Each structure stands twice: as structure tokens, then as C-alpha cells.
Homo-oligomer: A and B are copies of this chain.
Amino acid sequence: MNTIRSPQPPPSLTRSVEDYLKSVFHLTSQGGFATTSDIAEMLDVAPPSVSGMMKRLSETGLIEHVPYRGVQLTPQGRRAALQMIRRHRILESYLTSKLGYDWGDVHVEAERLEHAVSEKLIERMADALGEPRYDPHGAPIPTAAGEIEEAELVPLAESEVGSSLVLQEVGDEHPARLHYLAEQGLTPGVRLTVIDRQPFNGPTIVRLGDGTTRVVGQELALLLFCRSSDGE
């Protein structure tokens, strides 16, 4: 018979699949492959679970798997990943702006909600917020069409002593660290000058826009992604 199929109703991805796709996206954002063990660590599952999932995902055409090398997203997988990232970041923005959430608490909430919200709800939230371009941690929000801004950012921990920077984006997964950073005034948009750095993975010392200084240990300085502001 070989009946012509009507345009398949989108099979709706599971929560697990959606989180795997996001992980692959993040791990390949600098190009290259995402490895089994990196994905396993990011999602806190055992490596064989990843192998199993990668097999299923490549059968459904969401990723390309090169055995023993790693995986990359197909265009279809990338679209799905960017959609999830848009959901996540719009949710974080909405919770922060409209429901008084602390920026340290939104990530964990968004991590669950992103799998349950409809496209329609996300667009209503985006609309209520005025189509925000960045989430509360400074990460760019993909458009509904699946475009995302790519910036070259350097972690403060790896910045050049003497450079003038703008803090652009902060790693969003650690509530306690975020809480502390906010107290220190280290939030996206702040200007800073790198005064010094201690050796042996020591702290970075910065001067803020208001003239005060901060001593930032390496662990935190690795979470602070900056762009150069020399030309400004």
C-alpha cells in the first residue's frame, strides 16, 4: 500500500530527551563533539545511560553519533534544543520579573517547568515581559524563530590583568554562589577593571564602576563571563 503519510503530529519529546538535547547543545557550543562522559556528568546519570539515549536520539534523527567520538546535534535537534533554551530563559525572566523570585532560585524551577509549558504560554510570558533579549543571568534568549546571539566571552578567571571588562553573563546553577555575587554587586552589566591576580589559581582583584574593589576567588571568577569594554 505504502500510504502517503500526513505531516506527522510532532511526537512530543520526553523530559529526558529534552534535557539531553540541551546538554549536547551547551557542550558543543564551542564546536566539536559532546562526549558521553561530559553528558553523563552534566545530567548526573551513568555513562551507559547516555550511550543508550544517544542511540535512540540518533535513530530519531536528533543527533549525529560518531561511535567512540561523541555526538553533535542535527539541524532538527538544534531547533529542539534552542526551543528548550528559549523556554528556560523566558521562564527564568518571568519568575524574576513578575513573581519576585531571587535570581538564584529560578534555575531549578525553570528546569522542571520548561518541559511542561506550551509554546503559547511562553510567548505570552515573553510578551508580558516585552520580548526580553537576556535572562536574569545575562544569557541571551533565543528568538521564537530559533536564532541565538553568540558572543565571545572570557571568564573573569582567565581575563588579562589590566583589561577593562563588562560582566555579561553569570553561570546560573548555583543559588548560594548567585546570592553571594548579588551581594557583592557582581551582576550582569557591571563594569570592572582587572587590577591583579594572585598566582596558583588565586583570586582575581577587580575594581568596579563605583570605585570599590572586590577579591574574587577562582571558583567564582570562572562563573563570571565578561566581554572587553576597552573601546568604550
A113 to B121, CA, bound (A): 11
Flag A81-114 by CB within 8 Å of B: 1 or 0 each. Answer: 0000000000000010011110001000100110
Cβ–Cβ < 8 Å partners of A109 in chain B: 118, 120-121
Cβ–Cβ < 8 Å partners of A113 in chain B: 113, 116-117
A115 within 8 A of partner (CB): yes
Cβ–Cβ < 8 Å partners of A98 in chain B: 98, 128
User: Assembly of this chain: how many copies?
Assistant: 2
Cross-chain contact B99 with A124 (CB below 8 angstroms): yes
Cβ–Cβ < 8 Å partners of A121 in chain B: 95, 99, 109
21 of the cross-chain contacts (CB-CB < 8 Å) are: A95-B121, A98-B98, A98-B128, A99-B121, A99-B124, A99-B125, A99-B128, A100-B124, A101-B124, A105-B120, A109-B118, A109-B120, A109-B121, A112-B116, A112-B117, A112-B118, A113-B113, A113-B116, A113-B117, A115-B116, A116-B116
